[in-house]
C-alpha cells in the first residue's frame, strides 16, 4: 500500500521531496535528481511553495530535475495552504483504498516480486483472463476457472505434493497422475461428455500441454461460430465445471462418474444462461435526445457558464467563463491558460475562475453551469466524495461559494455550453 499511495499536497509540511510519492503521474511518483548534488538542497515540499503568491517556486531545484518533472510539479494546484497533506490511493477514483484496486495495482507493478520461476509455472495471458472474467455465467464458474488456471484445484497430484494423499494417480483410470488437465479433459470418461454436448468435441490428448493453453486454443477457434462465440464459450465453461463436480461427487460417494448426467445438466444450464446472455448483449435502441440549447436564467439570477480544455501530452489546459443575464446579454467573460495534471482538474479550475469573475462583477445570485459531472456532483454532495484529484479545488470553491447569497449548481451538455467551450479552446490554442 505504501508503494502505491501518494501524498496530496496541502501545506507540504509532511512530504519529503526525494523519498515520498507525491507527483500525479502513473510512472513518475517522485522527483529524482538528474545530476549529483554537492551543496544543500530543499528536503520538504513546503520549501518549494511561495506562500504569499500561493505558487510553486522551483528555482532551488530546477537545475537538478528533468523539465517534464518540473511541469508535473507546477501542474499540482496550490489552494488552501492551511490544509495538511493527505495520503490517498490514486488508483481509485475517490482516493480510498480497496482490495480490488490494490490487487490490480500489485499485478501491474509487482510482477517481478509475485511471479514464480519459469520452470515452476508460466504466465497466463491477460487476453485469456479477460475472456474468462467477461463470461456471462454464474460467478462460481469463473472462480472454478481461476482455480484451474492457477493450479489451485485439489487434484490428487496437488494433494500428493502437499503430502495429503499418498498416491497422485487418478482413481478412475489408474493410468496417469490426476492433474487439472487430466481430470477435466484427458480421463477416458470425460471423452463421452465432450462428444455428447452440442459441440461434439473430440479432445486431442497430444495437443493438451496445459489447461490454460488448451482454453486459449478454444477461445481462438470461437471466431468460427459466426456471432455465437460467447454462447459457445459459456457452454465450454459449464461443461468443465460440471465435469469437475461429477468427479468430486464420484470420489466422495465411491462410485464411477456418470457422463450422461453431466451432459444433461450442462445442456440444461446452458439453455438457462443463453437467453440472459442475448438480453445483455442486444440492448434495445433508445431515442436520440433533442438538440440542447442554452437558456437564459430567471431574474434576478446571472448565469455563469464555465468549461475547460486540456491536452494530455503537454498538460496544458485552458478555462473559459461567460456571464449572462436574464435577457441573454453578455456581462463578462474570461479565457485563461493553466497547467494541470488531468482534464477534471481543468474543469474544476474553470468553476473556480467563474466564481471569482462573478464576485468581481458583484453578481450575488448565480446559476453556475458546467458540462463536468464530476465537479457538479462534488458541489452537490456535502460529504465531499468524488474524484480525489479535485478535492483541494473543491474545498476552495466551497469556501468562495459562501460569499454568494444564492448559488445553484447545474449540469448541462456540451452542446448547450458552446460559448464557454469556445473560450476555453481559445485560451488553450494561445499556449
Domains parsed from the chain with CATH numbers: 1-97 (no CATH), 126-281 (no CATH), 302-429 (3.30.420.10)
Q: How many helices (H) and strands (E) does the chain have?
A: 15, 9
Grid coordinates in use for 417?
455550453
- pLDDT digit string, tens, across residues 364-403: 999 999 999 888 888 887 666 678 889 889 999 999 999 9
> Is 190 in contact with 250 (CB distance < 8 Å)?
no
- Smallest CA-to-CA distance from 183 within 219, 148, 207 is with 148
> What are the φ and ψ backbone dihedral angles of 293, each rounded to 5 degrees?
-130, 150
CA 171 to CA 193: how far, in whole Å? 18
Burial of 328 (C-beta count, 10 Å sphere; 0-12/13-18/19+) = exposed
Residue 395: CB atoms within 10 Å: 16
**Extended strands (E) in 129-264:** none
Kindly give, in sequence order, each residue whose CB lies less than 8 Å from that of residue 162, ignoring residues fewer than 6 positions away: none
Instruction: Give the mean model confidence (pLDDT) for residues 302-325.
Output: 93
| Whether residue 85 has pLDDT greater than 50 | yes
> Is 355 in contact with 397 (CB distance < 8 Å)?
yes
Q: Alpha carbon of 63 to those of 59, 60, 70, 340: distances in Å? A: 8, 8, 10, 22
Average pLDDT, whole number, for the chain? 85
CA 181 to CA 149: how far, in whole Å? 10
> What are the φ and ψ backbone dihedral angles of 174, each rounded to 5 degrees?
50, 35
Grid coordinates in use for 299?
431574474
Q: Which string of DSSP letters, residue by residue, matches 326-367? A: TT--EEEEEEEEEE-SSHHHHHHHHHHHHHHHHHHTT--EEE
| Whether residue 158 has pLDDT greater than 60 | yes
CA 322 to CA 426: how far, in whole Å? 13
Instruction: Give the mean model confidence (pLDDT) for residues 417-430.
Output: 81
- pLDDT digit string, tens, across residues 109-154: 654 344 444 434 457 888 888 888 888 888 999 999 999 988 899 9
> Is 388 in contact with 95 (CB distance < 8 Å)?
yes
- pLDDT digit string, tens, across residues 246-283: 999 999 999 999 999 999 999 888 888 765 444 333 33
| Whether residue 292 has pLDDT greater than 90 | no
Amino acid at each position: 500500500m505504501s508503494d502505491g499511495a501518494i501524498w496530496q499536497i496541502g501545506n507540504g509540511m509532511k512530504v519529503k521531496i526525494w523519498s515520498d510519492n507525491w507527483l500525479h503521474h502513473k510512472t513518475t511518483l517522485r522527483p529524482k535528481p538528474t545530476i549529483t548534488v554537492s551543496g544543500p538542497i530543499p528536503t520538504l515540499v513546503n520549501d518549494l511553495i511561495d506562500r504569499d503568491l500561493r505558487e510553486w517556486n522551483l528555482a532551488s531545484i530546477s537545475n537538478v530535475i528533468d523539465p517534464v518533472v518540473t511541469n508535473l510539479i507546477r501542474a499540482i494546484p496550490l489552494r488552501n495552504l492551511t490544509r495538511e497533506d493527505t495520503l490517498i490511493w490514486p488508483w481509485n477514483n475517490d482516493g480510498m483504498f480497496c482490495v480490488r484496486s490494490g490487487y490490480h495495482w500489485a499485478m501491474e507493478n509487482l510482477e517481478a516480486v509475485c511471479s514464480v520461476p519459469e520452470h515452476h509455472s508460466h504466465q497466463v495471458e491477460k487476453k485469456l483472463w479477460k475472456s474468462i472474467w467477461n463470461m456471462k455465467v454464474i460467478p462460481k464458474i469463473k472462480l472454478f476457472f481461476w482455480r484451474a488456471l492457477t493450479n489451485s484445484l485439489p487434484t490428487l497430484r496437488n494433494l500428493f505434493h502437499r503430502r495429503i494423499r499418498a498416491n497422485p494417480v487418478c482413481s478412475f483410470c489408474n493410468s496417469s497422475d490426476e492433474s487439472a488437465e487430466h481430470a477435466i479433459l484427458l480421463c477416458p470418461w470425460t471423452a463421452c461428455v465432450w462428444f455428447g454436448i452440442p459441440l461434439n468435441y473430440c479432445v486431442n490428448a497430444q495437443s493438451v500441454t496445459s489447461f490454460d493453453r488448451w482454453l486459449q486454443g478454444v477461445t481462438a477457434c470461437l471466431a468460427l461460430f459466426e456471432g455465437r462465440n460467447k454462447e459457445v464459450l459459456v457452454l465450454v465453461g459449464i461443461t468443465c465445471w460440471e465435469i469437475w463436480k461429477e468427479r468430486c461427487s464420484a470420489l466422495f460417494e465411491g462410485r464411477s462418474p456418470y457422463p450422461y448426467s453431466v451432459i444433461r445438466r450442462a445442456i440444461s444450464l446452458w439453455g438457462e444462461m443463453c437467453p440472459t446472455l442475448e438480453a445483455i448483449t442486444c440492448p434495445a435502441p433508445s431515442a436520440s435526445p433533442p438538440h440542447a440549447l442554452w437558456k437564459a436564467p430567471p431574474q434576478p439570477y446571472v448565469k455563469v457558464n464555465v468549461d475547460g480544455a486540456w491536452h494530455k501530452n503537454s498538460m496544458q489546459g485552458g478555462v473559459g467563463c461567460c456571464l449572462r443575464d436574464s435577457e441573454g446579454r453578455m456581462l463578462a467573460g474570461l479565457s485563461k491558460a493553466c497547467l494541470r495534471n488531468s482534464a477534471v482538474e481543468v474543469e474544476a479550475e474553470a468553476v473556480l475562475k467563474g466564481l471569482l469573475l462573478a464576485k468581481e462583477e458583484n453578481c450575488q445570485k448565480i446559476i453556475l453551469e458546467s458540462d463536468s459531472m464530476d465537479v457538479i456532483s462534488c458541489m452537490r454532495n456535502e460529504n465531499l466524495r468524488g474524484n480525489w484529484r479535485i478535492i483541494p479545488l473543491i474545498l476552495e470553491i466551497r469556501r468562495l461559494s459562501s460569499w454568494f447569497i444564492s448559488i445553484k449548481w447545474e449540469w448541462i451538455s456540451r452542446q448547450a455550453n458552446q460559448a464557454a467551450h469556445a473560450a476555453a479552446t481559445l485560451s488553450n490554442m494561445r499556449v
